[in-house]
Amino acid sequence: MGGWLEGVWRWGDFGISVSVLEDAEVRSRFISFSLLVGKFGGFKDGKDSVKWEGNKGLDFSVASCYAFYGKDFVPHGPPNKFDDVFRLVWRVEVPFKIKAFGWRLLHDRLPTKNLLVLRGIHFPVDNLMCFFCGVDVENRNHSFFGCDVVKNIWKEIAFWVGKVGYMEDDCLSNFMDWHRFFCTQKLVDSKVDVVWLATTWTIWITRNGACFREEGWNVNDIVWSIKLLVWKWSFCGKITHSNYSFYEFSKDPILFLS
Ligand SMILES: [Zn+2]
């Protein structure tokens, strides 16, 4: 910045290189700034030093730096109504790979056929269709929620837990619809989204098994697989009831998840 030369303080180049000063606008501003600081005086001999004014003790800390910049932070826009969805899926007490699956599903990052085409992988047209119904192109919202075959699975699960009403075809809306329903049933926080994850996961592995290993499937088996998974995952993490059988659980799942 500057230094003493033969008893007189001289300002340096302020760290601005000669090549930068070739720009007329920068040079003009540099001259103005030099004139401004050149008038500054009244200080004694000493060396330049660095001090941090972000906290009272003048000692630098990451926390004070975060607070310093945070106080001027302006959000880029109003919050999105689904901003909280992605956080919720990590709170569920299920195996980690299921949380990761749910997170990818909510972000539409599973390798469904429509996305594979976008990435340059080509299918014959008839192979692009939804595996379950064969009518629409496979994509997240259709193959997990909007497909008529898959809707039958959701209806059975809804009947099982006592949920009534319209089923959302959009993934994020569907998730929040089920999430709100289970919240009203007073489920333990970490169990609220277990049924939704078990249903979507079972739909996905059924689709994969049939596509890649030619495994057979039917709606009834899928529904019972979902119920079995929910029962198994009800023992993950915090358990609020003593040991219970699948038979007991399947008759009143809400009771054992509360
Ligand atoms: Zn379909």
pLDDT per residue as tens digits for the range 140-188: 999 999 999 999 999 999 999 898 888 889 999 999 999 988 888 887 7
180 vs 121: CA distance, rounded Å: 38
Of 22 and 125, more confident: 22
Rounded (5°) CA angle 206-211-212: 105
What is the Å distance from ligand 1's center to 7 Cα? 85
- Give the pLDDT score at 197: 96
Tell me the DSSP string of the chain.
-EEEETTEEEE--TT--TTGGGSHHHHHHHHHHHHHHHT-----S--------SSTT----HHHHHHHHHTT---SSSPPTTTTHHHHGGGS-S-HHHHHHHHHHHTT-S--HHHHHHTT----GGGGB-TTTSSSB--HHIIIIISHHHHHHHHHHHHHHT--SPPPSSHHHHHHHHHHHHHHTT--GGGTTHHHHHHHHHHHHHHHHHHHH-----HHHHHHHHHHHHHHHTTSS---S----HHHHHH-HHHHH-
What is the Å distance from ligand 1's center to 179 Cα? 24
What is the Å distance from ligand 1's center to 15 Cα? 64
- Average of per-residue pLDDT values in the chain: 83
What is the Å distance from ligand 1's center to 84 Cα? 28
Q: Which tens digits make up the pLDDT trace of 133-150?
A: 988 989 999 999 999 999
What is the Å distance from ligand 1's center to 107 Cα? 20
Q: In this model, does residue 56 exceed pLDDT 90?
A: no
Q: In this model, does residue 84 exceed pLDDT 80?
A: no
What is the Å distance from ligand 1's center to 129 Cα? 8
What is the Å distance from ligand 1's center to 146 Cα? 7
What is the Å distance from ligand 1's center to 147 Cα? 4
What is the Å distance from ligand 1's center to 131 Cα? 6
What is the Å distance from ligand 1's center to 153 Cα? 12
Percentage of the chain modeled with pLDDT above 70: 91
What is the Å distance from ligand 1's center to 24 Cα? 65
Helix 194-213 / helix 171-184 crossing angle, nearest 10 deg: 140
31 vs 11: CA distance, rounded Å: 12
